[in-house]
Amino acid sequence: MSDAPLKGVRVIELARILAGPWAGQLLADLGADVIKIEKPGSGDDTRQWGPPFVSGANGENLSAAYYHSTNRGKRSVAVDIATPEGAETVRRLVADADILIENFKVGGLAKYGLDYASLRKLNPRLVYCSITGFGQTGPYASRAGYDFIIQAMAGMMSITGEKDREPQKAGVAISDIFTGLYAVIAIQAALRHAEQTGAGQHIDMALMDTQAGILGNQNLNYLVSGIAPIQMGNAHMNIAPYEVFPLADGHVILAVGNDGQFQRLCALLDAENLASDPDFATNPLRVKSRERLRAELIDRLANWTKAAFLAACEAHAVPAGPINTIAEMFDDPQIKARGLQMQIADRDGTAIPAVRAPILLPASPLVYDRPSPRLGEHTEEVLAELGAKAGKELDEDQ
C-alpha cells in the first residue's frame, strides 16, 4: 500500500466559510499538509455558526458542527495578515508551499502583498486558487458572493420547488460545495502542470460559473428548445414516471428510466391496460401524457405499503427508493457497509463526528487521522518549522 496521493504537498488556506475550506479539506483527505490561516481571537466565521456545537471532554466549546463539516485534517495557525508581521509569516509559508487557496474579494489581498502577482515572485511554481462569487473579471467581479444569491441568479431556484409556488433553494449550499470540488480538480491539474514546467498559475473559480455549469441537462434543454425549464416539483422534465408517489403509509421515489422498466412496473401492479396504452408506449409519449399517467399510478398505488412496494420493485428490477431523513440515511445498511460515518479523536480524546470523502482508492487510501483543528492549535508548531527551515538555510549559506 502506497502513501496518500498528495503526501508531501503543502497547501496554505486563506479561506473561510465553505467553498475554500471544502477544497482544503478534500486536499487534506488526499494527504496534503493543509495549513489554515485564521484570524486570532475569532478564526473562521463558521466556528460560531451554531448550535449545535461540539463539546470537548472537559465541556470546552470546540466550535460549531458547521465548522467541523469542512475543516478536518488541517493545521490551524492564528496570525493577523493585516499586520506586517502576520503577512510576512504567510509569505514565508508560501515560499515553500505548493498551493494557496483564498476566497477574499477580488484584489482584497493585494494590500497585504499576498496577491498572486506578489507571491509568484517568491514562489514561481505556486498554484494560487482564488474562489469568489463572480470571478476575477466581468461586471459583477467586485460583488461579494453568497450561495443563496448565486442559486437564485444562476437559474437553480427557477427549476426547484413546486409549480406555481415560491422558488426554492437546495437544502445545502451546492454552489459552494461544487465550487470547492471543481477547485480541487483545477488545483490538481495546475499542480501537474507546475511539476512538469516549474510554473504555477492563478486559478479563477467563481460560484456563479459553477452553479450555471452544473445545471447539466436543463441547460441543454433550454439551448436546444429555446424554452426555459420551470419548477416541476419532484417531476423530471425529460422522463416519466420519475417522481414522488404517495402510498398507504407514506411516499416513495419511482424512477422509471426506460420502456422495459415501465413494462415491469405495469406487471407488478397488474396494470395491463397501462402497459398496452399507446399514450404510454415510449418515454417521450409518457412525458407528453405525464398528468394522466400520474393519476393512473396514484390510483393503483393507493393500497400499497412502502415496504411491500419497494420489495416488489426490487424483485422486478424497477428503480425505486425510500425518502430517508438524514437520521435514516445514516442508519441505512448500505451507508453503514460503506463506512461513510466516522469519528476522529481530538487531542483530549473527544470523538469528533465526520463523514468520509466519497472516494475509495485502495492502493493509495485517503487519510483521516486529524480532526478539525482548534483555533491556533498548530501556530507554535508551524512557526517552529519555519524557524528550523530558516536556520538550516542559514547554515547552508555559511
SS3 27: helix
Q: How far is CA 255 from CA 45, 128, 187, 321, in A?
A: 40, 42, 36, 8
Q: CB of 123 within 8 A of CB of 95?
A: yes
Given the residues 29, 98, 176, 204, select the one marked as catalytic.
176
Active site residue 176: yes
| 135 φ/ψ sector (left φ>0, alpha ψ -120 to 50, else beta) | left
Contacts 24+ apart (CB under 8 A), 283-287: 283/239, 283/240, 283/257, 283/258, 283/259, 286/240, 286/241, 286/262, 287/237, 287/238, 287/239, 287/240
Residue 378 cell numbers, joined: 498548530
SS3 317: coil
Q: What are the residues whose beta carbons fall under 8 Å from the beta carbon of 55, sequence distance 6 or more?
A: 61, 62, 350
Residue among 87, 146, 143, 145 nearest 112 (CA): 87
SS3 62: strand
Kindly list the catalytic residues.
176
